[in-house]
Amino acid sequence: MKRRSLVVLVSALLVLVLTTQLHAQKIKVIVDQDARGPATTDMQSLLIFLQSDKFEVLGITTVSGDQWMKEETQRTLRLLEIAGRTDVPVAEGALFPLLNSKEESEHWENMYGKLGYKGCWSDFSKRTQVSEAYRAGYHDPEVVPHLVEGEPHIKPIVASAAEFIVRMVHQYPGEVVIWAGGPMTNIALALRIDPQVATLAKELVLMGSGMYADKGGINSVDGRREFNWWFDPEAVRISMRAPWKKITITPIDISVKTNVGRALHDAIANADTPVARYLTQFSEPGFMWDELSAAALIDPSMITEQKELYVDIDIEHGPSYGETLFWGPDVSLPSYERKATVQFDVDTKKLYDLYIKLMTQAPRKR
């Protein structure tokens, strides 16, 4: 064989090996999200997973929280069409949390004051200075309002979210990152269907809980009453006491150090892609709650401070229902209490640069 052909052949082989290695290094992730839309932190975090070539998104599972699950599912399906990622399956999850309810939250408010944010149990119709999508009134769980971003044509899969999670961790033992951006209801149901979910998954990564923050909680000054965890405390209790190999938590504390502001908005508005147009049209300023958790999976170095803490939740149906409980790593506790890596500070420049890069690029095929 001629020397030149040999070099070409070896190079081709090397490229083949490298690309399969790259492919093999993709993080397999199930994205569980209370996907309120259009835009919002929920959708923007989905876009991070969809746009980045670091992930193999096995599926998106929806759960009631910021909005009711049925509406969220339709908005997620529409997002996939806009982002050119209709290859990603969407599985419908829990419509209601395990035990908490709108009625119970209203009884609580009678005693302990109005909560500033209650997700799908809220009525935002009196808000001013926000776009139509953020001024939704309360609607019943089964209702899906007209989608300003367009009605989807694709459908969710038949399997429920919990079934899908169970199936995936068995199909890819030790590989699947379960990422939870909303209440933990689907995760808890999956664990009760099959407790092996915790040991077969690679890691649980979640946005939720709050420790020392004095803003961002759902009644302003109490950072330990964080929305995702408060919406379904029993689901958090089930999830946080399962024997995961690793738990990573993005709490309120770090989220409120970020901001989707005007500068970010303008940088994205310059790009002319379906995703950038979607964001430019519908995105509102706010904290980067869920985007931060997703971005940190791509570049962990953006997290500049994190601590190992034991983390649990109060599920007594009294004044502190849904509040985060946490202890230092050296406290002696029963074995069912879990240690988590809790993120506390972020290099916002790294975060915003990555965010702009991902949101302005052309959509990727899997």
In the complex, the residues that contact other proteins under the rule CB under 8 A are 69-70, 74, 92-96, 98-99, 103-104, 107-108, 110-112, 139-146, 160-163, 166, 185-186, 189, 192-195, 234, 237-238, 315, 317-319
Q: Which helix (H) or strand (E) holds 24?
A: helix 3-24
d(Cα 195, Cα 339) in Å, to the nearest integer? 18
d(Cα 315, Cα 327) in Å, to the nearest integer? 17
d(Cα 148, Cα 136) in Å, to the nearest integer? 12
Name which of 12 and 143 has its Cβ closer to other proteins. Answer: 143
Name which of 328 and 334 has its Cβ closer to other proteins. Answer: 334
Q: How far is the CB of 94 from other proteins (least distance, A)?
A: 6
Q: How far is the CB of 150 from other proteins (least distance, A)?
A: 14
Residue with tokens 């890691």: 203
d(Cα 311, Cα 328) in Å, to the nearest integer? 9
Radius of gyration of the chain (CA): 21
In the chain, how long is the greatest CA-to-CA distance? 85
d(Cα 283, Cα 302) in Å, to the nearest integer? 23
d(Cα 181, Cα 30) in Å, to the nearest integer? 11
Q: How far is the CB of 319 from other proteins (least distance, A)?
A: 7
Q: How far is the CB of 139 from other proteins (least distance, A)?
A: 7
Q: How far is the CB of 310 from other proteins (least distance, A)?
A: 19
Name which of 165 and 351 has its Cβ closer to other proteins. Answer: 165
d(Cα 87, Cα 83) in Å, to the nearest integer? 11
Q: How far is the CB of 74 from other proteins (least distance, A)?
A: 8
Name which of 212 and 336 has its Cβ closer to other proteins. Answer: 336
Q: How far is the CB of 96 from other proteins (least distance, A)?
A: 7
Name which of 319 and 329 has its Cβ closer to other proteins. Answer: 319
Name which of 162 and 358 has its Cβ closer to other proteins. Answer: 162
d(Cα 49, Cα 57) in Å, to the nearest integer? 7
Name which of 68 and 310 has its Cβ closer to other proteins. Answer: 68
Name which of 74 and 273 has its Cβ closer to other proteins. Answer: 74
Q: CA angle at residue 67 from 251 to 53, to 5 degrees?
A: 60
Q: How far is the CB of 143 from other proteins (least distance, A)?
A: 5
3 state DSSP class of 303: strand
Name which of 88 and 162 has its Cβ closer to other proteins. Answer: 162
Helices within 37-125 (DSSP H only): 40-51, 69-83, 102-112
Token pair for 355: 């965010």
Non-local (6+) Cβ contacts of 239 within 8 A are 180, 184, 187, 188, 191, 204
Q: How far is the CB of 216 from other proteins (least distance, A)?
A: 23
One-letter amino acid at 188 equals A
